[in-house]
Amino acid sequence: MQQSLFDTGVITLPQAELDYRPDFLDQCSADGLLRCFRDSLAWRQDHIKLYGKVVKIPRLQAWYGDAGTQYRYSGLTLSPEHWTAELSALKLACEQACGQRFNAVLANWYRSGDDSMGWHSDDEPELGRNPVIASVSLGVCRNLDFRHKGTGQTHRLPLQHGSLLIMSGPTQSHWQHGIAKTRRVIGERINLTFRYIYC
Ligand SMILES: O=C(O)CCC(=O)C(=O)O
Ligand SMILES: [Fe+2]
């Protein structure tokens, strides 16, 4: 872990609090965690209902957390798997970087440029007001796009292997974010968003 108290990367957008730390993990730790999470997490192919049709979510996901932390998303409810040693260690590093506790993590595995995540805000009631979300990226660089709900302003943030993005304050109230598909032939990426769920 390479971050220090002075190594901050604030991104200035209206009505958002974003702090991007590209060097959160050293190369060797990031490589090891990518392999470890890909091979050992309880990946699932979930389905959601979209305009009355059941469709595959365009990525694999896994939900880990303390007992009682449930993940609700588009009519889907996931119960948490038990923390693994590697996830717990990464959670601790995120807690130290953010100065706050987390009790759950959503892992997303984008197997290729064909996998994506649609526009959304992490604003479910169980996250509380102005949630702090710590997002760790491993694998190929993908763009996280932001779109302001009122003005339509957009901002593109490439998320590097081993980076940490902290979203906090009013970000989720005023902005949506998503990962677009890309036609470039690219490899895989795993993203982990650590959250605090009120339950
Ligand atoms: O893959 C990413 O960087 C975004 C993940 C995300 O927005 C989420 O898990 O809510
Ligand atoms: Fe999100």
pLDDT at 176: 98
Residue 8 banded pLDDT, cuts 50, 70, 90:
low
| The pLDDT of residue 3 | 42
- Examine the pLDDT at 4 and tell me if it is beyond 50: no
Q: Which atom of ligand 1 is nearest to the CA of 193?
A: 9
- Quick: pLDDT tens for 159-177: 999 999 999 999 999 999 9
Residue 105, C-beta contacts closer than 8 angstroms, at least 6 positions apart: 63, 64, 65, 87, 91, 192, 193, 194, 195
In the chain, where are the structural domains located? 10-195
Mean pLDDT of 120-133: 96
**And the tokens for 179?**
């990962």
Q: What is the Å distance from ligand 2's center to 193 Cα? A: 8
What contacts 114, CB < 8 A, 6 or more positions away?
58, 181
Please list every protein residue whose CB sits less than 6 Å from any atom of ligand 1.
Answer: 106, 108, 117, 122, 135, 137, 144, 159, 177, 179, 191, 193
Q: Compute CA distances 68 → 20, 24, 65, 71, whole Å.
A: 30, 29, 8, 10
Q: Is the ipTM of this complex over 0.90?
A: yes
Q: Judge whether residue 180 has pLDDT over 50.
A: yes
Per-residue tokens: 93: 């590093």
Residue 189 alpha carbon, nearest atom of ligand 1? 1
102 SS3 class:
coil
Q: Which residues of 36-59 are buried (b: 16+ CB within 10 A; e: fewer)?
A: bbbeebebeeeeeeeeeeeeebeb
Give how far Cα 33 sits from Cα of 9, 87, 150, Å. 23, 9, 38
What are the φ/ψ torsions at residue 123 (nearest 5 degrees)? -130, 25
Q: Could you report the per-residue pLDDT of 69-86, keeping only the tens digit for each? A: 998 887 789 999 999 999
| Model confidence pLDDT, tens digit, residues 50-64 | 888 999 999 999 999
Q: Does domain 10-195 have CATH number 3.10.20.30?
A: no
In this predicted structure, what is the pLDDT of residue 151?
A: 98
Residue of 144, 146, 195 to test ligand 1 pocket, by largest number of atoms within 8 Å of CB: 144
**Can you say how many angstroms the Cα of residue 160 is from the centroid of all Cα atoms in its chain?**
13
Q: What is the pLDDT of residue 62?
A: 97
pLDDT digits (tens, 9 = 90+) for 10-51: 999 999 999 999 999 999 999 999 999 999 999 999 998 888
Mean pLDDT of 126-154: 98
